[in-house]
Structure 1
Amino acid sequence: MEDLIIKMKNELERARSELAILYEISNAMRTTLKLDEVLYIILTGVTAHTGLGFNRALLFLVNEKAGIIEGKMAIGPESVDEANSIWKQIEQEKMDLDDLISAYKFLRDAPERRFNQQVKSLKIPLGEKNGGLLALSVLDGMPLHLTKETITNYRDDQIVQLLKSEELVVVPLKAKDRVNGIILADNFITKKPITKDDIRMLIMLANQAGLAIENSQLYEKTVLMSHTDPLTGLWNHGYFYYLLQEEIEKAKATKKPLSLIMLDIDYFKVYNDTLGHQAGDNILKELALILKNHSRKMDFVCRYGGEEFAIILPETERNEAFLIAERLRQDIEKHPFIHEEILPDKKLTVSVGVASFPENGNLPSDIVASSDKALYQAKSKGKNSVILI
């Protein structure tokens, strides 16, 4: 009888401890709607010593539109030495789950770990035949526990080869009975066996995580719509100023240059008045696509207003910016726009102004004013040209 009471007490204590952990992680997930922060909180909850205690955790999201499962984030050491270094720091600083979650704001700007880079580069087909382990988990919607014996059945799987795990648990994330992601976890360093309780806890966390992720995605979609020009899909006028301010602050902090291109369609009023606003809108959309396709990933392409566009060029000095602007001008001039023959020059062209930080000022208003002035000079000197002020 006494043994039974002790056993019941231990089980109650374990259940209370588990609920406390899940409650803390759940509360942390409710503190933000930013997707990257939610993902980090989930994975930290899975790997923290005061959380579920797995050595490594990976998170993938389902992109139904593209028909793929995308790697989004991974946490965990790649070697015993790295693990010992991390765990020693956590022990010395007496970091609890809240401390580990709060550390994300500092880690965000740190060099990205190779393990995280590898996972983020993965794009796995949703089809069961080509998608392997992850696609199977998405399609079945059921957790998978791969042991030393059963993992050999997946030895050719992309994920299994990357992780080199002897034991692995795969748990789907769900929102409203729809699988929207996958969590994978293992104990690659310690080789600690994954128990039924470990899997049960991970499933309970996954049930909350799926909904938190869906809420974050809906929020980010709403935010994106508020920052996006509905006609062209580019960043809008208001968000342009926010981006420019942010990039100037980064440039100041890193002591790196920044440039701004402002461009305006020549004789756009003639085109609009002759062919109508629908035709004019089509030209704006087509030009926006050209600007996006001919810009670098690091650049921010915005619709400033009307037929005027702006491109923020981080880490770009003035002479390089001029060359980029000139290439854009030439590409636009060569592009065959429909009915462009009605324009005075028989071609649709743009006038471009370029300004830079710090040469033209330290404030967004300074850079915009200088770039706009250069654009006006390009217009007044015959159009279809680039002026660097």
Structure 2
Amino acid sequence: MEENLQKEIKLYHQKLQRLESELSLLYEVSNAMRTTLDLDEILYIILTAITAHAGLGFNRALLFLVNEDENCLEGKMAIGPGSAEEAGKIWSEIDAERMSLEDLIACYEQYKNNPSQLDQLVKSIKIPLREDGGILALAAMEGMPIEVLDEEVRSKINDLILDILKADYFVIVPLKAKDKVIGVIFADNIYSRKPITKDDIKMLTMFANHAGLAIENSKLYQQTLYLSYTDSLTRIYNHGRFQYLLEETLKEAKEKNQPLSLILMDIDNFKNYNDNLGHPAGDEVIKKIAEIIKNSSRKQDIPARYGGEEFVLILPETSKEEARIIGERIRKRIVDYPFKDKEIQPQGAITVSMGIATFPDDAENKKELIEKADLALFAAKNKGKNQVVIYSIYLGVK
């Protein structure tokens, strides 16, 4: 009887130790997530805690978030080795350096600058949220954990994403915020082949509940930032954000010794259109022109509403001639667009005038660059409008 009592006490102590360890881990990770509102950094903290030996200890962790607009799951981040050899090397280095969970979380910048093959693969994945979307979609739609822990169950699952990931035994848990599924976490032990236990799944589920709230708070914060950065009418950057981004891109241009061009645009005779047709009609023109500018720009270009009927376009790594070509493309697309009642305009169409200035040819700083582009725009207006003018130091403009 005494022997049985000792066994029970030992078992009880083991359970207490495990519970203490689990609570300590949740506390540490929750504290780490509270230090940032950056979504990618929060995702990194979550997945690091799932994969670290000082955390939940899974070999790989993948995180997908729901995209409500496209009704799909989007791969957002993954942490884990790409091979058994790489796994052994990474784990040996971590052990040798005695890296704690806090140490691994502090490696976010290093991770961000050196994305793994697994991370790149996962970020290319989109899974439709429908019945034939596969097991990850099923977990999101049902809002329940899914465990595949033996060969018999795995053999019954035909899923392209699992085949791509070469996944055998794994667990998927939903990420929830206020009882709403916002994503899923996939975790497995592909290299160590360590069995996934009920305690592992319980801890992962508990952890996912905390993570879901942190992710939702971050998304709400980013939405608030987005609204503060963008013009409410056109949904492109506003004047304040333009000023900041021009400063930053100029710094980068100086560091890399590369040109940067700026196009300042103004809708010609816009007051005439507004006075005759009213502000709602004018707003529609402004929105469409912003859309044309955005759709006519390259991926690296930064369009913004400068104010009123004026727009700007920041063109990194772009010479004067390249800027002129881009400007002409935008100008022609605006002229050709069938704006409602465009015939009332003096030129029989909605048109824009543009001025271009380039760093370092025309200016060394933000203030000078804007002033030179504005001078070129003024010349375009004086020359008859509906044209692109490049700043020239010799003639003022040409």
Q: Counterpart of 2:343 in structure 1: which amino acid?
A: E
CA distance in 2, matches of 1:48, 1:256: 41
Q: Counterpart of 1:32 in structure 2: which amino acid?
A: T
Mean CA deviation greater in 259-268 or 76-85:
76-85
Q: Quick one: which of 72, 88, 92 aligns to 2:92?
A: 88
Once the two structures are superposed, residues 156-186 of structure 1 have per-residue CA deviations (whole angstroms, 9 ceiling, x without a partner) of: x132012101111100011111111100011
- Displacement of 1:278 in angstroms is 1.3
CA distance in 2, matches of 1:136, 1:47: 24
Q: Quick one: which of 114, 119, 124 aligns to 2:122?
A: 119
Quote the residue 1:359 is aligned against. Answer: 361
The reply on whether 1:98 has 2:89 as its aligned counterpart is no
The reply on whether 1:67 has 2:71 as its aligned counterpart is yes
CA distance in 1, matches of 2:44, 2:64: 12
**Closer/same/farther in 2, CA of residues 59 and 354 from structure 1, 3 Å limit:** same
Structure 2: gaps (5+ residues): 392-398
Quote the residue 1:331 is aligned against. Answer: 333
Once the two structures are superposed, residues 324-359 of structure 1 have per-residue CA deviations (whole angstroms, 9 ceiling, x without a partner) of: 111111111111111111111111111112222333
Tell me the SS of whatever aligns to 1:169.
strand
Quote the residue 1:141 is aligned against. Answer: 143
Tell me the SS of whatever aligns to 1:189.
coil
Once the two structures are superposed, residues 250-271 of structure 1 have per-residue CA deviations (whole angstroms, 9 ceiling, x without a partner) of: 3333333322221111111111
Quote the residue 1:43 is aligned against. Answer: 47
Quote the residue 1:186 is aligned against. Answer: 188
**Closer/same/farther in 2, CA of residues 74 and 309 from structure 1, 3 Å limit:** same
**Closer/same/farther in 2, CA of residues 380 and 107 from structure 1, 3 Å limit:** farther
Quote the residue 1:295 is aligned against. Answer: 297
Q: Counterpart of 1:324 in structure 2: which amino acid?
A: I
Q: Quick one: which of 234, 251, 254 aligns to 1:252?
A: 254
Tell me the SS of whatever aligns to 2:134.
helix
Quote the residue 1:163 is aligned against. Answer: 165
Tell me the SS of whatever aligns to 1:322.
helix
CA distance in 1, matches of 2:251, 2:89: 34
CA distance in 1, matches of 2:381, 2:18: 74
Q: Let me know the Cα RMSD of the aligned residues.
A: 1.6
The reply on whether 1:18 has 2:10 as its aligned counterpart is no
**Closer/same/farther in 2, CA of residues 176 and 351 from structure 1, 3 Å limit:** same
Mean CA deviation greater in 175-184 or 249-258:
249-258
- Displacement of 1:61 in angstroms is 0.8
The normalised TM-score by structure 1 is: 0.94
- Displacement of 1:149 in angstroms is 2.5
**Closer/same/farther in 2, CA of residues 115 and 314 from structure 1, 3 Å limit:** farther
Structure 1: gaps (5+ residues): none
CA distance in 2, matches of 1:90, 1:358: 47
- Displacement of 1:151 in angstroms is 2.0
CA distance in 2, matches of 1:82, 1:383: 62
Once the two structures are superposed, residues 260-317 of structure 1 have per-residue CA deviations (whole angstroms, 9 ceiling, x without a partner) of: 2211111111111221111111100111111122222222211010111111222333
The reply on whether 1:241 has 2:247 as its aligned counterpart is no
Q: Quick one: which of 290, 315, 318 aligns to 2:320?
A: 318
Quote the residue 2:348 is aligned against. Answer: 346
- Displacement of 1:113 in angstroms is 2.5
- Displacement of 1:225 in angstroms is 0.9
Query: In the TM superposition, what are the counterparts of 1:214-229 in structure 2 within 5 Å?
Result: 214-229=216-231
The normalised TM-score by structure 2 is: 0.92
Mean CA deviation greater in 4-13 or 80-89:
80-89
Quote the residue 2:58 is aligned against. Answer: 54
- Displacement of 1:111 in angstroms is 4.2
CA distance in 2, matches of 1:30, 1:141: 25
- Displacement of 1:136 in angstroms is 0.8
Quote the residue 1:78 is aligned against. Answer: 82
Once the two structures are superposed, residues 14-44 of structure 1 have per-residue CA deviations (whole angstroms, 9 ceiling, x without a partner) of: 2111111111111111111121111111111
**Which contiguous aligned blocks of 4+ residues in structure 1 show a shift greater than 6 angstroms?**
none
Tell me the SS of whatever aligns to 1:98.
helix
Q: Quick one: which of 29, 32, 42 aligns to 1:28?
A: 32
CA distance in 1, matches of 2:308, 2:39: 33
**Closer/same/farther in 2, CA of residues 242 and 134 from structure 1, 3 Å limit:** same
Fraction of identical pairs, as percent: 54
Quote the residue 2:271 is aligned against. Answer: 269
Quote the residue 2:394 is aligned against. Answer: none
CA distance in 1, matches of 2:85, 2:368: 50
CA distance in 2, matches of 1:114, 1:250: 28
Quote the residue 2:396 is aligned against. Answer: none
- Of structures 1 and 2, the larger Rg is shown by 2
**Closer/same/farther in 2, CA of residues 352 and 137 from structure 1, 3 Å limit:** same
CA distance in 1, matches of 2:360, 2:14: 65
**Closer/same/farther in 2, CA of residues 75 and 253 from structure 1, 3 Å limit:** farther
CA distance in 2, matches of 1:100, 1:305: 45
Q: Counterpart of 1:149 in structure 2: which amino acid?
A: E
Tell me the SS of whatever aligns to 2:300.
coil
CA distance in 2, matches of 1:77, 1:55: 7
